[in-house]
Structure 1
Amino acid sequence: MARLFGVDVPDLETDGLPLLWHWVYLLERPHQVDLGADGHPVRGVVPAPPAPGRRRMAAGGRVMRHGPLVVGRAATRRTEVVSLTEKEGRTGPLTFVVVRHTIVQGGAVKVVEEQDIVYRAAVAAGSRAEADAVTPVPLEPGEWSLPVDPTLLFRFSALTYNAHRIHYDRDYARDIEGYPGLVTHGPLQALAMAECVRRTGVVATAIDYRLVAPLFDHQGLVTRSTQAGSSREVSVRDLSGRITANGNVQAG
């Protein structure tokens, strides 16, 4: 993870994992036969897809770090579905799922996370989109640019054991899902926001983030952190200035 983001390896045995770095630990490893056509598991996981062929998308989440989660000691993650809501959208049925992960180490709760997931209807066959040209705008104070390319997206998928093909299979993302390019992971954007704060020397203890627009590999990734009282307002934009994620990071 440190080499992917180009940062120093933190003291994992004393200070514990930085905020959101638990995403490379306690991973689900489904059997290959349990993966659907898009690479996501279709059975044996929480949450299970509400119906065959539905597209799974991350919408946001909240993570609270209650104490140091250290490397070298056993930990347990408990996963549960908190809520499930059915709605009707412009493109068809939508299923909103909130999943809670609780990580315990040494008898104490270290991390509590809630993930917001939405399942949408599959796009019509042949709904292929073309990539638009990106006109970069200069970086501003407080912004940090993370170069995005297929290699970075593949490495992050490998780190988090995420087999969703929209992140590494360009033909599938374009021809089947209708995207103009490889999709930059929502968790990658959230981690970039948390790391943007950590780069300033601040110890981040919580994040509340929303993914507001899709981000593709040819569009880059720029994070921004600004002081807002005891917290930091954070965001992700593409190279042209379009906001794709935003949130709030609490500092300890």
Structure 2
Amino acid sequence: MSPLNITVYLQALGGKFLGPNAYSAPGQEISVQFMWGSFVALLPYNASSSDDGSINPTFSNGIPYTLPILTLETSAPFSEYEANYLTTDSNTISAATAVPANGAASPFTPAFIAVSIPRPSRAPLQIVQDVLLTAAQSSYTFTILVPGLLLEPNTNPQPADVISVFVKMMCGCQVTVNTPKSFWAPDDFEVTAYLTYNNGDVVAYPMSFDTENNDSSFIATITDTSYTGIYYTAQQRSTGNYGYLPEQP
């Protein structure tokens, strides 16, 4: 029986494929496994060595995307947007391998794909997607939608009364304005910092987009700099994406 050719794309919800921009933590890898019955195949996924796809306003048949990328018009009512589509080339990151058929599928065999994705919030994101194999098909392409936002510490120097955090799509794509890659509008994101103090108080600060740096960072000016810890949350209104960064000393 011919082997099964399996290709898996991981697309950030509302963003690009998970490629070289998604994660900066050294030594952490995305794991993709394909399983049916007692058979387990580990599919290689090297997010640091390839690209994360291109955004194109033209729909193209056969592109392995799940949802278009919606760009909100910040100067218009919130319901207005532009739709773009994710395209691939020969370098676009994916997990692919040929696995022995071993009697799959007569006529249908259930299988599933399990993905483990590292995050700066320490706990990895675990995704399991059911798929179905058919007896007459030997080649499969699956796209798994990866929800969430990628929050990273901003280690650039800041004034003593200013706090800052990077808020990006799960693919690592930046939130910017007035650039050729400004597909994600700052107004679509609600970002909050929570400062903890020795007396047990927790003070929440709404954060605004840093228009001066225009580098996907959100900032807030605080009134009491004696805090002992800080953590951040972010919500994307249009997709429901949510992300957090645990307490930073």
Q: Give the TM interval when normalised to the shorter protein.
A: under 0.3
Q: Which has the higher strand share?
A: 2
The TM-score, its normalising length taken from structure 2, stands at: 0.26
Greater RCO (CA < 8 Å, at least 6 residues apart) = 2
Greater gyration radius: 2
The TM-score, its normalising length taken from structure 1, stands at: 0.26
